[in-house]
């Protein structure tokens, strides 16, 4: 921990308090007011959790950490603005499909007049309908396109 942040024990004790008090959420709410929302990109990534991350109480809140052959992991679902700055972030267990949290992530963002960019894993009529209903423009490649290419290859082969 760099010395400019103070003693590590102070940071260690304040961080959970800031989360519980909603202080970190308020920082994100303030930062989102300056976000460039004409382009919003969605994606998710799997990250390996620290070895001590699974030490939560058995009857405590869910910590969204999955266990696989690689050890404890979690998935981060994020929406970023046109400059790549995070606008909203959610976590889930690794097994959760990316499309399942796309609408909940976008639900925290004003997408009106903006273009929502995502890869073909987000090609879902539910998500596309949600974007149109909120006056956004989806820019998501169709998964059908790849199947049309494969079919056309088989039509050429005798």
Radius of gyration of the chain (CA): 20
pLDDT at residue 4 in the model: 87
Q: Are strands 39-48 and 137-139 parallel, antiparallel or unpaired?
A: unpaired
Domain ranges of the chain: 1-34, 35-156
pLDDT at residue 98 in the model: 85
Please check whether residue 101 is in contact with residue 90, taking contact to mean a CB–CB distance below 8 angstroms: yes
Confidence of residue 118 (pLDDT cuts 50, 70, 90): very high
Backbone angles phi, psi at 49, to 5 degrees: -80, 155
* Mean predicted lDDT score pLDDT of the chain: 81
pLDDT at residue 129 in the model: 94
Confidence of residue 142 (pLDDT cuts 50, 70, 90): confident
pLDDT at residue 71 in the model: 65
Q: Among 71, 70, 69, 89, which Cα is nearest to 79's?
A: 89
Lowest-confidence pick of 67-71, 111-115, 128-132, 141-145: 67-71
Q: Which CATH number fits domain 35-156: 3.90.350.10, 3.90.1150.10, 3.10.20.600, 3.40.630.30?
A: 3.90.350.10
SS3 annotation, 41-58: EEEEEEEECCCCCCCCCC
d(CA 137, CA 131): 6
Q: What percent of the chain has pLDDT over 90?
A: 30
Distances (CA, A) of 51 to 48, 72, 131: 9, 7, 38
pLDDT at residue 145 in the model: 62
For the segment 106-116, what is each residue's pLDDT rounded down to a tens digit? 998 999 999 99
For the segment 27-76, what is each residue's pLDDT rounded down to a tens digit? 878 878 888 999 999 999 888 765 555 555 555 444 555 555 556 778 88
**Most trustworthy range by pLDDT among 44-53, 67-76, 138-147, 149-158:** 138-147
For 114, half-sphere exposure in the C-beta direction (CA atoms, 13 angstrom radius) is 22
The structure tokens 């149109």 sit at 132
d(CA 68, CA 87): 29
**Structural tokens at position 127:** 């998500």
């Amino acid at each position: 921990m760099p010395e400019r942040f103070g003693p590590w024990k102070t940071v260690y004790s304040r961080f959970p308090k800031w989360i519980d008090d909603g202080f970190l959420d308020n920082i994100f709410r303030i930062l989102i007011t300056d976000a460039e929302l004409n382009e919003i990109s969605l994606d998710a990534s799997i990250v390996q959790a620290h070895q001590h991350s699974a030490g939560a109480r058995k009857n405590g809140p869910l910590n969204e950490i999955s266990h696989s052959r690689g050890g404890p992991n979690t998935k981060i679902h994020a929406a970023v603005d046109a400059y790549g700055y995070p606008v909203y972030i959610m976590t889930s267990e690794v097994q959760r499909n990316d499309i399942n949290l796309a609408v909940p992530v976008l639900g925290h963002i004003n997408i009106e007049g903006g273009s929502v960019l995502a890869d073909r894993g987000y090609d879902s009529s539910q998500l596309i309908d949600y974007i149109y209903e909120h006056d956004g423009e989806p820019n998501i490649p169709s998964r059908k396109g790849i199947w049309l290419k494969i079919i056309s290859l088989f039509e050429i082969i005798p």
